[in-house]
């Protein structure tokens, strides 16, 4: 689905669908929301023996953000990370301070549900909310359990 949408979007904007662009998008589809950085995408492609330059990967990731296929995220580690955009599945993130793992918070913890009062207030005051980014930091259940065992 994503690849066909990308082909259509590229054609409408007068870009070509190159094998490299398709491969970069497929990395995000295959890794299923691992919040990869461009460098990690490049290494992933090399590990699959796909010949592509690092500059091409970085440019392609930027283009996919511009076209709305990827969302650019910053988790305060000095590296931008990316995830596939899924307009129907909004979520926030929890970052474990111990192991560094990034968890997606969905369903009852989705930002739409927990921030509804805030967005309603903003809209009532004339603001147009298009997107918001919520990040929680702390310790994941696995690291919390390990810390309790070590004490």
Domain boundary pick from 60, 84, 108: 84
pLDDT attached to residue 89: 66
CB atoms within 10 A of CB 25: 24
DSSP state of 32: T
* Total H helices, total E strands in the chain: 7, 5
The CATH number of residue 113's host domain is 3.30.1490.190
pTM of the model: 0.70
Annotated binding site: 96, 99, 140, 143
Q: What is the pLDDT of residues 8-32, one digit of tens each?
A: 888 888 888 888 888 998 898 888 7
pLDDT attached to residue 61: 94
Q: Are residues 77 and 146 in the same domain?
A: no
Q: Structural domain of residue 61, as residue ranges?
A: 2-84
pLDDT band at 98 (very low <50, low <70, confident <90, very high): confident
* Alpha-carbon span 129 to 104, nearest angstrom: 21
Q: Are residues 9 and 79 in the same domain?
A: yes
Q: Are residues 65 and 126 in the same domain?
A: no
pLDDT attached to residue 88: 65
Domain boundary pick from 84, 101, 130: 84
Annotated binding site for Zn(2+): 96, 99, 140, 143
* Alpha-carbon span 102 to 82, nearest angstrom: 12
The count of structural domains within the chain is: 2
* Alpha-carbon span 62 to 40, nearest angstrom: 14
Domain boundary pick from 66, 84, 102: 84
Q: Are residues 77 and 26 in the same domain?
A: yes
pLDDT band at 56 (very low <50, low <70, confident <90, very high): very high
* Alpha-carbon span 44 to 39, nearest angstrom: 9
Q: Are residues 72 and 99 in the same domain?
A: no
* Alpha-carbon span 45 to 26, nearest angstrom: 10
Residue 92 pairs in a beta bridge with 105
Q: Are residues 77 and 97 in the same domain?
A: no
């Amino acid at each position: 689905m994503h690849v066909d949408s990308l082909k259509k979007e590229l054609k409408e904007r007068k870009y070509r669908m190159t094998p490299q662009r398709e491969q970069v998008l497929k990395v995000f589809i295959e890794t299923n929301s691992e919040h990869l950085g461009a460098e990690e995408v490049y290494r992933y492609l090399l590990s699959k023996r796909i010949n592509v330059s690092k500059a091409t990967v970085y440019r392609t990731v930027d283009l996919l953000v511009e076209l709305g296929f990827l969302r650019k995220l910053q988790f305060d580690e000095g590296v931008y990370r990316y995830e596939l955009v899924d307009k129907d599945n909004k979520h926030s993130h929890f970052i474990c301070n111990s192991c560094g793992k990034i968890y997606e918070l969905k369903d009852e913890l989705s930002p739409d549900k927990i921030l509804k009062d805030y967005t309603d207030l903003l809209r009532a005051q004339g603001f147009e909310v298009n997107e918001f980014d919520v990040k929680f930091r702390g310790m994941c259940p696995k690291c919390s359990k390990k810390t309790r065992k070590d004490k």
